[in-house]
Structure 1
Amino acid sequence: MKLIAAGVAACAIALGVVLPASSAAADACPTRMLFEVGGMGDPQGNVFNAGNAELPPGVEATKVVYPAEIFPLAPKTLDDSNAEGRATMDRLVREFHASCPGSRITITGFSQGALVAGDTLGNLSKDNRIPHDLINGVLYSDARRVGVNGGPGGIMTNLPTFLPGITMGGPRTFGDIPVVSLCNQNDGICHSENLLTNLLGFANGIQGYFSGAHSAYDFRPVTHNGSANTVFPQPPLIPYGPPLPLPIPTLWELFNGKPAAAGAMNTYRSVVSAVLPQATKDRLDEFPGLAS
Structure 2
Amino acid sequence: MRRMIASVVAMITAAGISVGVGSAAAAVPPGCPEIYVLAVPGTWANGRSPGILRAVTSGLGPETRVQFVGYDATAFPWEKAIYGKSKAQAVANTTGLAATMLRRCPGTRIALTGYSQGADAAGDVASEIGTGRAAIRPGQVAGVVLISDPRRSRQDNLIGPPLAGEGSGGPRLDGMGWVKPRAFTICEPLDLYCNVPRDYFITRVVGYLAETSDPTPSQIGQYQAEAGAIVAELLTLGGPGKIVEELSNARAREQITIFNAFLKSGAHGNYAAFQVRPGVTAVQWAHDFLARLA
TM-score where L is the length of structure 1: 0.57
Aligned AA (2:136): I
Map 1:65-214 onto structure 2 (within 5 A). 65-72=70-77, 74-127=79-132, 129-135=135-141, 136-147=143-154, 151-157=164-170, 172-177=174-179, 178-195=182-199
1:100-125 deviation digits (Å, cap 9, x = unpaired):
11111101110000111011111112
1:140-199 deviation digits (Å, cap 9, x = unpaired):
010111125993111122xxxxxxxxxxx75551101021111111111111112369x9
Q: Distance in 1 between matches of 2:110 and 2:262?
A: 41
Q: Distance in 2 between matches of 1:153 and 1:97?
A: 33
Map 1:211-250 onto structure 2 (within 5 A). none
TM-score where L is the length of structure 2: 0.57
The aligned counterpart of 1:57 is 62
Call closer, same or farther: CA 1:282–1:173 in 2, change over 3 Å.
closer
Instruction: Give yes or no for contact 1:35–1:61 (8 Å, CA) kept in 2.
Output: yes
Unpaired runs of at least 5, structure 1: 1-21, 158-168, 203-248, 288-292
Q: Distance in 2 between matches of 1:196 and 1:113?
A: 23
The aligned counterpart of 1:38 is 41
Call closer, same or farther: CA 1:73–1:269 in 2, change over 3 Å.
farther
Instruction: Give yes or no for contact 2:37–2:64 (8 Å, CA) kept in 1.
Output: yes
1:31-76 deviation digits (Å, cap 9, x = unpaired):
1010010001003261222333312120110111000000157341
The aligned counterpart of 1:205 is none
Higher relative contact order (CA 8 A, sep 6+): 2
The structure whose residues are more often helix, as a share, is 2
Aligned AA (1:99): R
Q: Which deviates further from its counterpart, 81-90 or 41-50?
A: 41-50
Unpaired runs of at least 5, structure 2: 1-24, 156-161, 204-227, 235-242, 269-294
Q: Distance in 1 between matches of 2:104 and 2:56?
A: 25
Instruction: Give yes or no for contact 1:132–1:176 (8 Å, CA) kept in 2.
Output: yes
Cα offset for 1:28? Answer: 0.9
**Secondary structure at the counterpart of residue 85 of structure 2:** helix
Q: Distance in 1 between matches of 2:229 and 2:58?
A: 42
Instruction: Give yes or no for contact 2:112–2:126 (8 Å, CA) kept in 1.
Output: yes
Output the aligned Cα RMSD.
3.7
Aligned AA (1:90): T
Instruction: Give yes or no for contact 1:146–1:171 (8 Å, CA) kept in 2.
Output: no
Call closer, same or farther: CA 1:265–1:103 in 2, change over 3 Å.
farther
Paired residues in the alignment total 197
Aligned AA (1:183): C
Q: Distance in 1 between matches of 2:178 and 2:248?
A: 35
Aligned AA (2:119): A
Q: Distance in 2 between matches of 1:272 and 1:74?
A: 25
Cα offset for 1:282? Answer: 9.9
The aligned counterpart of 1:218 is none
Q: Distance in 2 between matches of 1:150 and 1:250?
A: 19
